[in-house]
Structure 1
Amino acid sequence: MSGDPIRPHFSTFRCRFTDGQHVVGSFIKTPTTHATEIFGALGYDFVVIDEEHAPFDRMATDMVLLAARASNLAGIVRVSSDDPAKILSCLDCGAAGVLVPHVASVEKARAVAAAARYRGGRRGYSGSPRAGGYGATPMWQLVDEQDASVCAIAMIEDPEALDHIDAIADVDGIHGLFIGRGDLTVALGAPSSADARVQQAVVHIIAAAQRARKPVCVMVGSAAEAGDFAALGASAFIISSDQGQMRRAAAQTLTDFKKLTHA
């Protein structure tokens, strides 16, 4: 899979993301390798392993990251917190990047950026995990390769983040912003993400990202919704999840079957 001529190597994900190229992924909620292998075979660009809202421990994350690399997918991990040790464990396991929830201040954005890089940061060094080729990669080669490829994405999902969004977006080492519409909707007390307050927040975040020349990632339910966000300036799209896509396909299959049996 790594030689797939129609899709760049997974290690180029950050470059493509920060260049504003359209990239498509899906959340992985089920702690097995199979869905990730399927997305890789289909030609998705990345998957996001969801440690925040799904039952992933370090072993499960490690296995799915192995499947991602074997399938030429960039494996991003939505970590359960901004704990530097959590970020480190995912990067050591070979994650192409981290998606960090609730980055609501400049200080937190700087801490996330520092945890995700060696030079100018605070990432702990070890050449022995998968990221270092199990000891095969010389120290400074590993430092340079990881610092050039690891992607740190800040989730903007708190109202207080909106007051500091330009400064957050400007932080060196934060490579893009993810708009957490679900959390914003709940925090704002809005009836749905279609509410004007949420829509205004989305526009505000995208404008700040554009001023900082940073890409924006959003979760969408369909290609049509992705098109709407692309028109606003988003370029990275997480389409539902493995569970969501399976549920939707299974529901449609059952509906079609019932039509046949009741005809």
Structure 2
Amino acid sequence: MLGTFVKTPGPQPVEILGGLGYDFVIIDAEHAPFDRGRTEIALLAARACGVAAVVRVPSAQPDVLLGVLDDGADAVLVPHILSAAHARDVVAACRYAGARGFSNGCRAGGYGARGQWSHTDAADGAVAVIGMIEDPQAVESIDAILAVEGLDGIFIGRADLSVAFDDRAAGAPQVREATLRILAAARVAAKPVSLLVASAEEAREFSALGVSAFVIASDQGFLRSAAQDALGRLRAALA
């Protein structure tokens, strides 16, 4: 699957990306200025154009997770999962079978169209919980984290890992070693893995190692690249 981060609040980036055929968008409420209202509008846009919507939440607080799930997120991407206990708490907060507060009077419940138990069962079966592995502590605990029931997949945050390791060497060898360790553990646990890639060549390499969901840049990254290319071509033509 192929997706991208959305960092610009508003429906238009989501609609454009969904219309192009991306499999999913990640609404970045951790590193971009999305409050709950702006996140809800982006989720509505995703539903309108038929693209799966993941929300990268700013924290693993239960009220934050509850809000985006009630507003219709297909999945949550939770930063800095550090341990199996942390992962279990996140999973519990996202599932009615755990500790998620009940409401079917929201978008996720069809504003009451779904009955209590049909909504409970459908939501628990459909919502995906994805943990971000981006800290050395998480790498050391990766087998236990991946064994947590209800954790549906992981995202390897290589940028955060490189900062945490202070890995400034060419090729970031510590990050690569950690990434390969995580991927090996995920294959054993049969858990899906996603990561951000910089090129098609890198995607092919990681696909062979078991990664099945690739994040490509962001809406702002696409805007910058296209604007830079257009500016350069026009300047060259008019020089």
- In which range does the TM-score fall when normalised by the shorter chain? over 0.9
Q: Distance in 2 between matches of 1:189 and 1:78?
A: 24
RMSD of aligned alpha carbons: 1.0
Q: Distance in 2 between matches of 1:193 and 1:88?
A: 41
Name 1:122's counterpart in structure 2: 99
Deviations 1:218-239 (A, max 9, x none): 0122333222221221110111
SS at match of 2:42: helix
Q: Distance in 1 between matches of 2:227 and 2:207?
A: 28
Aligned: 1:239 with 2:235: no
Aligned: 1:165 with 2:142: yes
Amino acid at match of 2:68: C
In structure 2, stretches of 5+ residues that fail to align are none
> Which residue of the other structure, out of 156, 173, 193, is the alignment partner of 1:216?
193
SS at match of 2:123: helix
Aligned: 1:205 with 2:182: yes
**Following superposition of structure 1 onto structure 2, how do residues 96-135 of structure 1 map, counting pairs within 5 Å?**
96-119=74-97, 121-135=98-112
Deviations 1:52-74 (A, max 9, x none): 10000000000000000111111
Amino acid at match of 2:232: T
Aligned: 1:84 with 2:56: no
Name 1:185's counterpart in structure 2: 162
Aligned: 1:255 with 2:232: yes
TM-score by length of 1: 0.89
Q: Distance in 2 between matches of 1:49 and 1:233?
A: 24
Amino acid at match of 1:28: V
TM-score by length of 2: 0.98
Name 1:176's counterpart in structure 2: 153
Q: Distance in 1 between matches of 2:123 and 2:190?
A: 22
Total equivalences in the alignment: 239
Q: Distance in 1 between matches of 2:195 and 2:13?
A: 20
Name 1:19's counterpart in structure 2: none
Q: Distance in 2 between matches of 1:168 and 1:78?
A: 19
Name 2:26's counterpart in structure 1: 48
Percent identity among equivalent residues? 51
In structure 1, stretches of 5+ residues that fail to align are 1-22
Q: Which runs of 4+ in 1 moved over 3 A?
A: none
Deviation, 1:132, is 0.4
Name 1:64's counterpart in structure 2: 42
SS at match of 1:95: coil
Deviation, 1:118, is 1.1
SS at match of 1:134: helix
Q: Distance in 2 between matches of 1:256 and 1:240?
A: 22
Deviation, 1:192, is 6.0
Amino acid at match of 2:69: L
Distance 1:124 1:180, change over 3 A: same
